[in-house]
Amino acid sequence: MNPSHRIFWHTLAALLVAFTTTLHAAAKPNIVLIFIDDMGYGDIGPFGSTKNRTPHLDRMAREGMKLTSFYAAPVCSVSRAQVITGCYGQRVSLPGVLFPGAPTGLSSKEHTVAELMKAQGYATMCIGKWHLGDQPVFLPTRHGFDHYFGIPYSNDMLKPQKVNGVRVVPLVRDEKVQELLTDDDEDGITARYTDEAVKFITEHKDRPFFLYLPHNAVHTPIHPGAQFRGKSANGRFGDWVEEVDWSVGRVLDTLRELKLAENTLVMFSSDNGPWLVKGTDGGTAGPLRGGKGSTWEGGVREPTLAWWPGKVAPGTVCDAVAGNIDFLPTFVKLGGGTIPGDNKIDGKDIAPLLLGQTKESPHEARYYYSGYRLQAVRSGPWKLAIAPQNDGMGKTGAPIPASLDQPRLYNLDQDIGEQTDVAAKHPDVVARLKALALKMAAELGDGKPGPEVREPGRVENPVTLYPVADDGKKAAPKKNAKAAAPANTRGASMDNLKIGDTLTGADAPQVLGKPLTITCEVETKAREGVIVAHGGVAVGYALYLKEGHPVFAVHQGGKDIVRITSPNALEGPATLEARLASDGTMTLLIAGKTVTTGKIDGPLNRQPAEAFCVGHDDLKTVDDYDGKKLFAGTVRNLKVNTDGKK
């Protein structure tokens, strides 16, 4: 062959290969998932907000689809497990909130959406709140993401540095702590995440990419950036919502400018409902009942949008039941992959819904779990509640009763606010949904893990990402003081602990299923302050002052908090005693005299995962008070009794 001909054919072959490769890459759509923290159903314009200005999300809805029956989970870690694995969080043993330094997290045996997208040639990155474990083996880079940048858990999980006691959260780059952020430093986090997202998209414009952008916004504490602070008509919460909207606009504008819009699916959603107990910092569920922490619609139905110019029809609305368990199978199939058959998942491919090919949900039913307790099931417009439901995390008031024998039934098409129980009118629907509930309970459990629940990832001797003052060990005693007796023995003395100290793990009072008595001598001129606290928003107890009145609060897992409050304020030094009896009777005594009583179902049904704190309440507080502020007074002769004897 003539050399010039050989060169011609080799060049042509190379061009054909390059063209085929480019064509193949173009056939794979880019995927961007923007995931917000604690945003309620009514917090953005497309879902009815008139308080928060969201022009970019409004435009996204006009140019795409609004999904009005899209579900997550009652709390954050569970919801994020669902996004990443395509499973109900319970199936992968992530049924509740994870805390810094936890020994459990996302198992390496799970197939993640990032891992499966990466196998199809996608560049992958996670930017923001991960919250599936902070040990190295649990971080995003061990689960299919090429890179990670973000705070690996909630922005309120600040812990005091060992070196100086300043409370911070880590900002992680891949697997290394890049910075330690104080509370004030978090003001710029949304802008930093947005800059990283734009950079990632720009650097990977010539190959398919999967970007997971889980913002810390709008979880409390509220941290809008300087350019948005004080600009909205809805206080600092509205400021942050409007900054989120700006961030979405930058991402979409970048895709438009790079001519990637018509080959990119962008999804916008939230991890759970609004944290209602936070008041003006907590957002709104709009027409829905309940909020974060509940299995009412307001706790789990999320404002969700889909945008893909030329593929998702503009201005459309989809009311078919779907959820964040569907992200994985949908994204993987769009990317040309398949779901491995070794691990069962719960999600379904909802591309036919997004692309307007059907209006029917691929799900026979949607299940509402709180922890491992199955509380409700939805099929079509019908929702059957089969367990008591509270209004949300930290909300007061008795749960609305329900059981398999006496369920509640709602037609959500006619009664989106879940106000009218129509069970008596539709026994056939009740029977059908009860059968669905029993079938799922046989798989995933109801009150405890079922036979199809897979093990979580586990590590021995977990440590936090940076040295902290309460590094998982008992607080150091005062100089020359004797070591404290074990905290789970009768009358254990904690008098060597000082205000600001903590006990964790086995050193904390072991209160699961046991009666509890706390006694101490208190002297203070303050009107507010935590005396002792153990646990958090899921389960725990606290003794504190509110407007000078002693309050004893107990929070059982999956139930509303119960408080008893002294009718009289403290005047001078006093001996306080708080009791929780085996039958659930709560008693508060001052100077040996009963001042008030209350009742719950029994002792705590879970051991609190958080620390036992003296004079403060770290991380997520048991009740609605300022846990960071140290008690302004003295706490002496502190004792905890867990054997029921006096």
DSSP string for residues in 382-442: EEEE-S-B-SSTT--SPPBP--SSS-EEEETTT-TT-----GGG-HHHHHHHHHHHHHHHH
d(CA 106, CA 640) in angstroms, rounded, equals 35
Q: Which residue matches tokens 């398919």?
A: 208
C-beta separation of 319 from 69 below 8 A: yes
Give CA separation, 130 vs 75, 339, 353, in Å.
Answer: 13, 23, 28
Give CA separation, 423 vs 285, 404, 410, 532, 550, in Å.
Answer: 25, 12, 7, 44, 43
Q: Which residue matches tokens 């779907």?
A: 322
Q: Around Cβ 180, how many Cβ atoms within 10 Å?
A: 17
Backbone torsions φ then ψ of 189, nearest 5 degrees: -70, -35
d(CA 53, CA 45) in angstroms, rounded, equals 7
Q: Which amino acid is at 90?
A: Q
Indicate which residues carry an active-site annotation: 76, 131
Q: Which residues pair with 535 in a beta bridge?
A: 540
CA 224 and chain centroid, separation: 20
Three-state DSSP class for residue 348: coil
d(CA 489, CA 594) in angstroms, rounded, equals 25
C-beta separation of 475 from 501 below 8 A: yes
Q: Residue 385 contacts by C-beta under 8 Å, 6 or more apart in sequence?
A: 295, 375, 376, 400, 402, 407, 408, 409, 410
d(CA 403, CA 417) in angstroms, rounded, equals 20
Q: Which amino acid is at 47?
A: F
Backbone torsions φ then ψ of 291, nearest 5 degrees: -155, -160
d(CA 485, CA 639) in angstroms, rounded, equals 10
Dihedral, 202, 204, 209, 211 alpha carbons, nearest 10: -40
d(CA 543, CA 509) in angstroms, rounded, equals 14
